[in-house]
Chains A and B, each alone.
Chain A
Amino acid sequence: MTVPLTAPKESILEAEQRVRRKDLSRRWRLFARGAALPILILAVWQTLSATGAISEQLFSSPWLILKQYAALTLSGELPHHLRISIVRASLGFLLGGSAGLIIGLLVGMYRRFEETVNPTVQMLRTVPLLAITPLFIMWFGFGELSKVLLISLGAFFPLYVNTFLGVRNVDAKLFDVARVLEFSRFRQMTKLVLPAALPNILLGIRLSLSIAWLCLVVAELLGADTGVGYMIQDARAFMQTDIVFVGITIFALVGKLSDSIVRYLENRLLRWQDSYKG
């Protein structure tokens, strides 16, 4: 990049805005490129089931699924189940995620704390969640508590590991700066450690969210009388393939949506980074 010597002082900031505007038109093209394959698959699927090449009973068809969407939404059934699922997943994520964040920060900041807590957490982390599920059901029953706790257990680990990693990656030289500038403990946390670890923390949030979602499905399939997982289970019993597909796609949609929100946050909050963006 060449900048004329006489460039006005704001030129760097203006250039930044110009680049961002250009990004917008690029994003549309990117979207079109990403959407091409799913649209093709849907078209083939619809054609195959319309011509009777595959069984509508087993594979349903995009059109039927869409109709079922409308029907379930109008009857209020889908919003009802979805709301309950989202509440469960959010509660579990908030509980487990915030515990992972706080404990990860402490373990990252204080070596004493790390030596006491980290070995135990790493050991628990290797236990498959599905293996613990029966225990949870025995202890907490089939109610909400066991579901939320299972989800929070799943959401705990990614945020814990990534926060810990993020704190350990903070440039030691910047701690010297904080000492010279006499940052208080609180300021050291809010002005140095948290922002420096933020890229890792956000990655941890994304991973935690997807695991929370996964655990929700497990919990609801195992035993529930509400929620999208229950809706799928119930539909399966009656061979209502289209409803099963509605459940699956709604999981996918909400999962993608929550991921996009965090990605958006990443873009906003990490504007200061100059790392390679593809």
Chain B
Amino acid sequence: MQPVLEIERVNKTFYGEQGTTPVLQSVSLAVHEGDFTTIIGPSGCGKSTLLKIIAGLDLSYEGSVQLRGKRIERPTQEKGFIFQEHRLFPWMTVEQNIAADRSLRDPGVRKAVDELIELVKLGGFERAYPRQLSGGMAQRVAIARALLRQPEVLLLDEPFGALDAFTRGHMQEALLDIWQTNQTAMVLVTHDIDEAVFLSTRVVVMDARPGTIKAIVPIDLPYPRSRTSRAFTELRTLVLNRLDHRAELEQDVYSI
């Protein structure tokens, strides 16, 4: 089966005043329909850079990035992007933000927006402005805005990083709900191992300086997942070990 997204041997270097910084080195990854991929790695390893390349926001790299076999040449609505901050338009209400450049007077758009508001559980807030929303609600609006465009793949760059632990838990469940309903392929960047294991079908572990893919850990647990189950904790430890060799050593010490 052809992957939705195919990244092959991507190299990325920043040329700045401080000289050249190699950020990504020979990164290859394929995302299939219905995949939920999370990318985890130390700060500065190029996760955001990789996501921007996939989104078409950054085009100066070597290698090939293809969406359904076509080279990505610019940002399009087929690649939904959720930023760390919600980035809603402050002068638009919730429903206007979801519609954005489309007209709510179009019955098709109206219906789709209403359904999405239902999906992200924001009924009653259609006419609220972003300043009246909590961080989690605003991020759900941003997700609905991306989903209205029916993207092939949804790219999320630490979308819940700014939220408190309680809200984050809710948002993770909401995102799983959306993913299971829509079957949109997800690529999510996170710092949170727990989040990665809880959400995804596989975890991509990256290394820094230069950014490379160090390991891909498949997560074969059925949904809904329990964070306290034995299998869950084992997989979490596995990812942690892949992420940090020192942790692996410490673990060995402990297991003696």
The chain A residues found within 8 Å of chain B, CB to CB, are 8-10, 12-13, 16, 173-174, 176-177, 179-184, 187, 191-192, 195-196, 198, 271-274
B100 touches A181 (CB 8 A): yes
List of B residues within 8 angstroms of A12 by Cβ? 125, 128, 132
Cα distance, A195 to B92, chains bound together (Å): 9
**Most chain A beta carbons < 10 A, residue from B101, B124, B145, B149:** B101
Closest to A270 in B: B91
List of B residues within 8 angstroms of A183 by Cβ? 100-101
Closest to B148 in A: A181
Cα distance, A180 to B124, chains bound together (Å): 28
A179 touches B75 (CB 8 A): yes
Closest to B132 in A: A12
The 5 closest A-B pairs by CB, nearest first: A9-B124, A274-B131, A187-B101, A195-B91, A272-B91
Closest to A275 in B: B131
Given A182-B76, A274-B131, A191 contacting B100 (CB threshold 8 A): yes
List of A residues within 8 angstroms of B127 by Cβ? 13
A195 touches B89 (CB 8 A): yes
Cα distance, A213 to B90, chains bound together (Å): 34
Cα distance, A183 to B131, chains bound together (Å): 23
Q: Is B83 an interface residue (CB 8 A)?
A: yes
User: Shortest distance in angstroms between A79's beta carbon and chain B's nearest beta carbon?
Assistant: 40
Q: Is B66 an interface residue (CB 8 A)?
A: no
Q: Size of chain B's interface in residues, with CB distance under 8 A?
A: 29
Cα distance, A8 to B80, chains bound together (Å): 32
Cα distance, A177 to B128, chains bound together (Å): 20
A180 touches B91 (CB 8 A): no
A-B contact pairs, 25 of them (CB 8 A): A8-B124, A9-B123, A9-B124, A13-B124, A16-B132, A174-B87, A174-B89, A176-B83, A177-B83, A177-B89, A180-B55, A180-B57, A180-B79, A180-B80, A180-B81, A181-B100, A182-B75, A182-B76, A183-B101, A187-B101, A191-B100, A272-B91, A272-B92, A272-B131, A273-B131
Q: Is B172 an interface residue (CB 8 A)?
A: no
Q: Is B129 an interface residue (CB 8 A)?
A: yes
Cα distance, A177 to B75, chains bound together (Å): 10
Cα distance, A180 to B127, chains bound together (Å): 24
User: Shortest distance in angstroms between A180's beta carbon and chain B's nearest beta carbon?
Assistant: 5
Cα distance, A13 to B133, chains bound together (Å): 11
B81 touches A272 (CB 8 A): no
A271 touches B87 (CB 8 A): no
Given A12-B128, A181-B100, A191 contacting B81 (CB threshold 8 A): no
Closest to A195 in B: B91
User: Shortest distance in angstroms between B2's beta carbon and chain A's nearest beta carbon?
Assistant: 24
- B 105-133 to A, binary, CB cutoff 8 A, 1 in contact else 0: 00000000000000000011101111110
List of A residues within 8 angstroms of B83 by Cβ? 173, 176-177
Cα distance, A16 to B123, chains bound together (Å): 17
Cα distance, A260 to B157, chains bound together (Å): 45
User: Shortest distance in angstroms between B113's beta carbon and chain A's nearest beta carbon?
Assistant: 14
- B 86-106 to A, binary, CB cutoff 8 A, 1 in contact else 0: 010111100000001100000
List of A residues within 8 angstroms of B149 by Cβ? 181
List of A residues within 8 angstroms of B79 by Cβ? 180
Cα distance, A195 to B128, chains bound together (Å): 17
List of A residues within 8 angstroms of B101 by Cβ? 181-184, 187, 191
List of A residues within 8 angstroms of B77 by Cβ? 180-182
Cα distance, A196 to B89, chains bound together (Å): 9
Extra inter-chain contacts (4) besides given A180-B80, A195-B92, CB under 8 Å: A13-B128, A174-B89, A176-B57, A274-B131
Closest to A191 in B: B101
List of A residues within 8 angstroms of B129 by Cβ? 271-272
List of B residues within 8 angstroms of A176 by Cβ? 57, 83, 87
List of B residues within 8 angstroms of A187 by Cβ? 101
User: Shortest distance in angstroms between B129's beta carbon and chain A's nearest beta carbon?
Assistant: 5
**Most chain A beta carbons < 10 A, residue from B79, B90, B91, B124:** B91
- B 52-85 to A, binary, CB cutoff 8 A, 1 in contact else 0: 0001010000000000000000111101110101
List of B residues within 8 angstroms of A192 by Cβ? 89
A10 touches B124 (CB 8 A): yes
User: Shortest distance in angstroms between A127's beta carbon and chain B's nearest beta carbon?
Assistant: 36
